[in-house]
Amino acid sequence: MPQIGWFELLLIIGLAVVIIGPKDFPIVLKKIGSWFGSIKRYISAVQSEVSNLEENTLDYENKENKDKKEDLKKDESK
């Protein structure tokens, strides 16, 4: 996987300033930052939903196992 060094990063920033213009460059950076923030929040929400789903599934499976054990104990005591 290619790596981007400091020189390449400075070159990209320099080209962006020249192409976009120094006046609009901060606005574009702010917009890109808000996009990254939105994507990060979306990914975090998906991760928390998956985590909650896994916890609920484990709780349900544990409850089923506990109920089966109790049923077996009742059958053995009869």
* pLDDT value at 2 more than 90: no
Cβ 15 vs Cβ 7: under 8 Å: no
The distance from CA 69 to its chain's CA centroid, rounded to whole angstroms, is 38
* pLDDT value at 15 more than 80: yes
Q: Which residues of 55-76 are buried (b: 16+ CB within 10 A; e: fewer)?
A: eeeeeeeeeeeeeeeeeeeeee
Asked if the structure places residue 70 within a domain, the reply is yes
Q: What is the pTM of this model?
A: 0.55
Asked if the structure places residue 14 within a domain, the reply is no
58 vs 54 pLDDT, higher one: 54
In terms of residue numbers, what domain contains 72?
23-77
Asked if the structure places residue 16 within a domain, the reply is no
- Total structural domains in the chain? 1
Asked if the structure places residue 42 within a domain, the reply is yes
Percent of the chain with pLDDT over 90: 54
The pLDDT assigned to 75 comes to: 64
The pLDDT assigned to 18 comes to: 94
* pLDDT value at 48 more than 80: yes
The pLDDT assigned to 38 comes to: 96
